Structure 1
Amino acid sequence: MDMYSFSNEANSVKGIPVNDSESSLGTAVHGQQVEPDRYQATVCSITKQSLNIGTWNVRTLFQSGKLDNVKLEMTRLKVNILGICETRWTGSGEFNSDNFKVRYSGGVKHERGITMILDRENAKSLLGWWALSDRVMLIKLKGKQIDLIIIQVYAPTTASSEEEIDEFYDTLEKAKTQCKSTDVTVIMGDLNAKVGNEADGETVGKFGLGTQNERGGKCVQWCKANEYVLTNTWYEQHPRKLWTWLSPGNDFKNQIDYIAIKKRYRCAIKHSKAYPGADCGSDHNPVICELKVKLKTIKKGKTTPRMDYSALLKKNKPFEKNMRFNVLEDQGSAKWETFKEALVSVAKELIPKRDKKSKSKWMTNEILDRMRSSQQFYNRGSSEYKQASKGIRKKCREAKEIWLNEQCEEIERHKTNEPGTMYRKIKEVTGFKGCSSTGYTRSRNREVLMEKDKILEHWTEYIGELFADYRGNKPEIRKAIEGPKILTSEVRGASQ
């Protein structure tokens, strides 16, 4: 039997086969009373709050101003979580960009790549994430009653080999192993498959677009075997809100981007459709759905604001005069807690907090206004739209070039007197993000750990075993509890 095939044979309560024309032991009546409300009792009765999630193939984010354009569209369309295909970023990691949290997974070359962008409020519910490859990544969010798992995918195109297709579905199966049966699981992205406009069981609705192709058949088989519903084929929409990809030359419009949800929670979807009005210079339209689910904010520890220590080098900051040396003089033996409290209190008074800066520091309001005005062009193949897009790209390059020249001049000024500020500026200019991360680690039994508390528990156990002292008779070490006194002149010299 094929791995994607399954039986639709109906059975009675006692295991007696029945057919559509003949009911046995009240099976039909029981189905009429129970089945329609079965899914509704799982999600819809729990919450009335909703979440807007979407997927969009933007063709590339490896272009000046493209990320800002996508964030602008997210804000306008009120999208809380957006999965992006074909970002063309390398490596994997995470960073903050204005009021958004970005998690990305790419390859070695500037090809393929996927990204998840979360707004500030819903990012507080993020339990963990897992970058499996440059085609599949997973995020997990904490829910009030039920957790939410979103798997963003970018399937190989029709020009790819069967080996690449099989590898993609194997990676998707690996991601699915992290999903519990009780989790609300959503799979979305550019599947590069046409499922057609003919209803197929509970997987494909009759409001799709076009005719099913070979890749679409394989996609439907996988969804059937794993009980997923392709949501944007189940809602009757205007034809322009069905297609998600426009072929070169504007000859054909196809539906190849989908949002699929576990069949058990299909009633949690309020609507699912494409938005042809969104614009970022891509030949794809975003697919957005409204999901009825309530997320829970994860409480985090209090963060310490970053201080701008370069202010200590300026003459107008009388740090030394405000240092409370009398605290040390009153103490017979200077204690560390007393010294730390005096130092921190003075630092809070005199050292300013470091300002939070946006990701694209060179972005101007003029460019953002041009991006908004380009949405008025309905025909994306018109010469006016192409001219507007070309103008936006040119303005982005010019603004970034001006900003880079200013930063290089500032680096030259700090080269001799403020090396710390110089290296920080170099990191800003080069876009250095520190160590890359795939968002997960493996436990001792090779289990994938994504949640931060579980990862912390795993490393605590590992470090404890690594530095454990199993010696029977331990040597006695005499410690000098009382060291030499800290002189006021030493503290004064260190603070200068």
Structure 2
Amino acid sequence: MMISKRYKNALLLAKTYPSADCYSDHVPVVGKFKLKLKKYSKPSANIKFDLAILKTNQTIREKYQISVQNRFEALRDAEEVEQQWENFKSAIMEAATELIPKVKRKAKQKWMTEEILNLMEERRCAKGNKEKYEQIHKKVQEKCNMLTENWINEKCKEIEQQRKHAPQIMYRNIEEITGKRTFLSTGCLKAMNGDIIID
């Protein structure tokens, strides 16, 4: 019985059944496996705060400092270092959640909208419910296809207008649609071996 190295310890028993009548010269082989399935742990979402606002907005900075200080003062009685660290961390996180805005999600595609991003988040949360997940997934696919097509059509119109008057911008837009870089010809002469002729 051929089996992957990964599962070699999982095979408990292997038997052949030569007497089985299966209209073939092959002999059925039956194996007994004991597999240990890995428990799926849901990754915790990392909350990203817009920390740059602490440099630019003095009011928020002062409020944040006072909030952290007050929370930490109230939790300072802990004697163990580990407990002090946990208290300090929770004071910072609670104050940040209350006062500092979160970093806005950046769309990977230029045609992406906030509505689709919200639907994607809703779809991610519905992973346990197959029917609901598929409904939301279908909706996301439809909206993505529609917006992609509209975006490409708009870009094509721009390219047509830029063809005569702005060739560099036109090539940039072509690169954006296709994902491939294009190079303008320099008009140089090349030798048989591919070297550019200078003289």
* TM-score normalised by the chain length of structure 2: 0.40
Name the one with the larger strand percent: 1
* TM-score normalised by the chain length of structure 1: 0.17
Larger radius of gyration: 2
